[in-house]
A and B are shown apart, each in its own frame.
Chain A
Amino acid sequence: MSWLQDPATIQCLYIVAFALFIYGLMGLTGPRTAVRGNLIAAVGMAIAVLATALTPGMGNWWLILLGIALGTAVGVPAARKVKMTAMPQMVALFNGVGGGAVALVAWVEFRQSNGFTGEPLYVSIATLFAAVVGSVSFWGSNVAFGKLQEILPGRPITVGRMQQPLNLLLVLITLFCGVAVVAGGTSELLMIGLLVASALLGVAVVLPIGGADMPVVISLLNAFTGLSAAATGIALNNTALIVAGMIVGASGSILTNLMAKAMNRSIPAIVAGGFGGDGTTA
């Protein structure tokens, strides 16, 4: 059985997995092939997970099984029971937890390596990028979910003229923490500051956007989560993550553009949202 754990076998399985992702995505773009395309992509995902489980030296099996069991126990009923009309917010929620997973992994990587001590520069940069984008995606998606689910008011919520300075301030805090860590700072406060500032940024950017524009915003955040997954792949040197993440990042950007065009809206106008001017929502 040792050949199964050969890194080359695992890499080959990853290649099979991302080939299936691409083939499945191609299927998803046509009405006749869409159902099959989705299934093919799901098979690819199963292969990628099994291949990862073969990685030599894997341990902590009980904790892994606990996490997977928890995720299945929450995810399956949620996906089965959601009403057809509530689908967009469900996608927002699923997208959000993906971003949350990226941010959590990045945080743990920081902690485990004692602030990237002795790690190459690209590892810290890729991980911090993943942390920022994952955190923005998690909180932004949760706000999008809240708006569509009508937990939060659907109308644009802004802090008026202070919106842009506030966003800029949050960007600057995020950048400051990130640069400080890359420059060798090992204090965990910097990492927590980075995660919190980007979380607030995610909330501050999505809150001013009206409910009607939410599908486009969810698609944009979806592309972001893909990019953050690709960055995690660079940091962990994992081909499957790089390919799948980047494909989602690229196809998600195109799709966001298509969706905005179908609604006769431009992406900058949507993201500018409530503080862009008249605050009309499509």
Chain B
Amino acid sequence: MLVQNLAILVLAGFVGFAVISKVPNTLHTPLMSGTNAIHGIVLLGALIVLGLGATGALDQILLVIAIAFGTINVVGGFLVTDRMLGMFKAKKEPEE
């Protein structure tokens, strides 16, 4: 299981490198914000640990906070990226 996961890890790393080759400067911040939203996937980790029966009040409180944090990361991240790109489009269209 570990070896398979490490293989996936390495391959995903190369995909990440390959995807970002040429990016216009204006898209740097939206792209950062977009990748930021994607690592909100840590939400899944919190869901699994809490869902599969974490016990004890302190652990449950910590995990609820973790889920809230993850949700903020995901929801806020995608919304902010969308707003940034909306601004980008509004500025871009008159030129075309």
Chain A residues within CB distance 8 Å of chain B: 18, 21-22, 24-26, 28-31, 34-35, 37-39, 41-42, 45, 48-49, 52-53, 55, 57-61, 63-64, 66-68, 70-72, 74-76, 78-80, 82, 84, 87-88, 90-91, 94-95, 97-98, 100-102, 104-105, 107-109, 111-112, 120, 122, 215, 218-219, 222, 225-226, 228-230, 232-234, 236-252, 254-255, 258-259, 262
Question: Which residue on chain B has the smallest CB distance to residue A245?
Answer: B39
Would you call the interface of chain A mostly helix, strand, loop, or mixed? helix
Are B45 and A233 in contact, with the CB atoms below 8 A?
Answer: yes
Question: Which residue on chain A has the smallest CB distance to residue B76?
Answer: A75
Q: Given A75-B76, A222-B39, A247-B38, verify A236-B48 contact (CB < 8 Å).
A: yes
Question: Which residue on chain A has the smallest CB distance to residue B50?
Answer: A60
Among B6, B41, B59, contact of A112 (Cβ-Cβ < 8 Å): B59
Are B49 and A250 in contact, with the CB atoms below 8 A?
Answer: no
Are B60 and A60 in contact, with the CB atoms below 8 A?
Answer: yes
Question: Which residue on chain A has the smallest CB distance to residue B80?
Answer: A79
Q: Which of B51-90 contact A (CB under 8 A)?
A: 51-56, 58-60, 62-89
Among A52, A87, A222, A250, contact of B44 (Cβ-Cβ < 8 Å): A52
Are B42 and A241 in contact, with the CB atoms below 8 A?
Answer: yes
Are B34 and A38 in contact, with the CB atoms below 8 A?
Answer: yes
Q: How far is the CB of B36 from chain A (nearest CB, A)?
A: 5
Q: How far is the CA of A122 from the CA of B9 in the complex (A)?
A: 14
Q: Point out which of A18, A29, A109 has the most chain B C-beta atoms below 10 A from its C-beta.
A: A29
**Cβ of A87: which chain B residues have Cβ within 8 Å of it?**
29, 33, 80, 83-84
